[in-house]
């Protein structure tokens, strides 16, 4: 359950994780609120979650409370790379957001529980 929550909070988060950004400071077209659905395809993590993620200046963070650590970014191209962690559990997230207000990708956990799956995102604001 913790691992699935990590993967979800992340997705962009949460999220979102470590993507290089260009030096030019242009407005980030992916900034805003996103709804992320996380689906487990293998492992003992819960089947599915839906979470809010906020992207600000290309940095993704979980929109809810909790003791998750989210590190990552959305590149100007829309590429997402993130790590969500809690205790010894972590989820690595990769994928892409599109300018049409949606995105998708995959996630994989590490630590005491091994799971993997996919995520889908929709812009909410």
Query: What CATH number is associated with residue 72?
Result: 2.40.128.120
Pairing of strands 48-56, 79-86: unpaired
Query: Residue 114 sits in which domain range?
Result: 2-123
The pLDDT score that the predictor gives to residue 5 is: 44
Q: Could you give the 3-state DSSP secondary structure of residue 54?
A: strand
Report whether 7 contacts 84 (CB < 8 A): yes
Indicate the number of domains in the chain: 1
Lookup: tokens for 37: 């659905």
pLDDT greater at residue 20 or residue 57: 57
pLDDT of residue 69: 67
What value does the mean pLDDT take over residues 79-85? 87
Q: Is the dihedral of CA 99, 11, 92, 60 positive or negative?
A: positive
Predicted local distance difference test score (pLDDT) of residue 19: 35
What pTM, to 2 d.p., does this model score? Answer: 0.75
Distances (CA, A) of 8 to 25, 45, 122: 29, 11, 14
Q: How far is CA 110 from the centre of its chain?
A: 15
Q: Give the Cα separation of 83 and 14 in Å (integer).
A: 8
Question: What confidence tens digit (pLDDT) does each residue in 6-45 have?
Answer: 444 444 333 333 333 334 455 579 999 999 898 999 998 8
């Amino acid at each position: 359950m913790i691992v699935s929550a990590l993967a979800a909070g992340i997705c962009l988060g949460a999220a979102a994780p470590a993507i290089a950004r260009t030096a030019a400071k242009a407005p980030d077209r992916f900034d805003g609120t996103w709804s992320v659905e996380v689906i487990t395809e293998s492992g003992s993590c819960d089947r599915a979650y839906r979470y809010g993620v906020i992207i600000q200046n290309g940095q993704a963070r979980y929109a809810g409370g909790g003791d998750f650590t989210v590190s990552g970014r959305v590149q100007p191209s829309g590429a997402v790379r993130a790590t969500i962690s809690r205790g010894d559990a972590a989820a690595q997230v990769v994928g892409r957001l599109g300018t049409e207000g949606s995105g998708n990708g995959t996630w994989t956990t590490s630590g005491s529980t091994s799971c993997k799956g996919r995520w889908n995102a929709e812009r909410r604001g």
